[in-house]
Structure 1
Amino acid sequence: MNARRRLALGVVVPIALLALWQLLGQSAGMAGVVPTPVNVAYAWWDWIFADPGMGLNPYLGTWASNVQYSAMRVGQGFLLAVLLGVPLGLAIGWNRTAALMLDPMVQGMRPIPITAWLPFSIALFGIHDFGSVFLIFLGGFYPIVVNTTQGARDVERNLVRAAAMMGASPTQLLRRVVLPSAMPSLFTGLRLGLGVSWTAVIVSEMVAVKSGLGYVLWDAYYVGRMDIVLADMVSIGIMGYISDRLIVLIERRVLVWRMLQSH
Structure 2
Amino acid sequence: MTASTLRPAEPTAVAEPASAPGAVRRLAVRVRAVLWALPVPILLAVLWDRGVAGGWTLPLGIQMQFLPTPLEVGRRLADLAVGGLIGDTYSGTLWVHLYASSIRVVQGFALAVAIAVPLGIVMGRSTPVYRLLEPTINLVRPIPVTAWAPLSLLIIGFGDRSTIFLVFLAAVFSILLNTLAGVRSVPPRLLEAAAMLGTRPAHTLYKVVLPAAIPQIVAGLRIALGLSWVILVVGETVGIRVGLGALITQAREQSRTDLIIAVMIVIGLAGFLADRLLVLLVRLCAGRRPLLP
Q: Could you state the TM-score of these two structures normalised by the residue count of structure 2?
A: 0.82
Task: Answer yes or no: is the 8 Å Cα contact 1:132–1:208 preserved in 2.
Answer: no
Q: Which residue of 2 aligns with 1:21?
A: 48
Question: Are positions 1:35 and 2:68 aligned together?
Answer: yes
Q: Which residue of 1 aligns with 2:112?
A: 81
Q: Which residue of 1 aligns with 2:83?
A: 50
Task: Answer yes or no: is the 8 Å Cα contact 1:213–1:232 preserved in 2.
Answer: yes
Q: How much is the aligned-residue C-alpha RMSD, in angstroms?
A: 2.2
Question: Are positions 1:132 and 2:163 aligned together?
Answer: yes
Question: Are positions 1:11 and 2:38 aligned together?
Answer: yes
Deviation at 1:169, TM superposition (A): 4.2
Deviation beyond 6 Å, 4+ runs, structure 1: none
In structure 2, give the amino acid aligned to 1:204: G
The structure-2 alpha-carbon separation of the partners of 1:31 and 1:161, relative to structure 1 and needing over 3 Å to count, comes to closer
The structure-2 alpha-carbon separation of the partners of 1:133 and 1:31, relative to structure 1 and needing over 3 Å to count, comes to closer
Question: Are positions 1:121 and 2:152 aligned together?
Answer: yes
- CA separation in 2, counterparts of 1:142 and 1:72? 21
Q: Which residue of 1 aligns with 2:21?
A: none
- CA separation in 1, counterparts of 2:260 and 2:185? 43
Between Structure 1 and Structure 2, which shows a larger proportion of helix residues?
A: 1
- CA separation in 2, counterparts of 1:246 and 1:146? 22
The structure-2 alpha-carbon separation of the partners of 1:257 and 1:50, relative to structure 1 and needing over 3 Å to count, comes to closer
- For residue 217 of structure 1, give the secondary structure of its aligned residue in structure 2: helix
Question: Are positions 1:206 and 2:233 aligned together?
Answer: no
In structure 1, give the amino acid aligned to 2:179: T
Q: Which residue of 2 aligns with 1:188?
A: 219
In structure 2, give the amino acid aligned to 1:158: R
- CA separation in 1, counterparts of 2:230 and 2:37? 24
In structure 1, give the amino acid aligned to 2:119: L
Could you give the per-residue CA deviations for residues 214-262 of structure 1, whole angstroms, max 9, x where no partner exists?
11111101101100000000000000000111122223334445449x9
Computing the radius of gyration from Cα coordinates, the structure with the larger value is 2
In structure 2, give the amino acid aligned to 1:95: S
The answer to which structure, 1 or 2, has the higher relative contact order (CA under 8 A, 6+ apart) is 1
- CA separation in 2, counterparts of 1:51 and 1:26? 27
- For residue 237 of structure 2, give the secondary structure of its aligned residue in structure 1: helix
Q: Which residue of 2 aligns with 1:71?
A: 102
- CA separation in 1, counterparts of 2:201 and 2:144? 36
Could you give the per-residue CA deviations for residues 126-184 of structure 1, whole angstroms, max 9, x where no partner exists?
11101000000111100000000000001121221233345544431112211111100
The structure-2 alpha-carbon separation of the partners of 1:178 and 1:22, relative to structure 1 and needing over 3 Å to count, comes to same
Task: Answer yes or no: is the 8 Å Cα contact 1:21–1:37 preserved in 2.
Answer: yes
Task: Answer yes or no: is the 8 Å Cα contact 1:140–1:197 preserved in 2.
Answer: yes
Equivalent in 97, 111, 115 of residue 142 of structure 2: 111
| Structure 2 residue ranges without an equivalent (≥5) | 1-24, 57-62
Task: Answer yes or no: is the 8 Å Cα contact 1:131–1:208 preserved in 2.
Answer: no
- For residue 103 of structure 2, give the secondary structure of its aligned residue in structure 1: helix
- CA separation in 2, counterparts of 1:47 and 1:78? 26
In structure 2, give the amino acid aligned to 1:237: G
- For residue 111 of structure 1, give the secondary structure of its aligned residue in structure 2: coil
Deviation at 1:32, TM superposition (A): 5.7
In structure 1, give the amino acid aligned to 2:126: N
| Structure 1 residue ranges without an equivalent (≥5) | none
- CA separation in 2, counterparts of 1:6 and 1:210? 38
Instruction: Count matched residues.
Output: 259
Greater Cα shift, 91-100 or 71-80: 91-100
The structure-2 alpha-carbon separation of the partners of 1:20 and 1:81, relative to structure 1 and needing over 3 Å to count, comes to same
Could you give the per-residue CA deviations for residues 194-227 of structure 1, whole angstroms, max 9, x where no partner exists?
0011111111001252221011111101101100
- CA separation in 1, counterparts of 2:43 and 2:287? 36
Deviation at 1:27, TM superposition (A): 2.1
Q: Could you state the TM-score of these two structures normalised by the residue count of structure 1?
A: 0.91
- For residue 46 of structure 1, give the secondary structure of its aligned residue in structure 2: helix
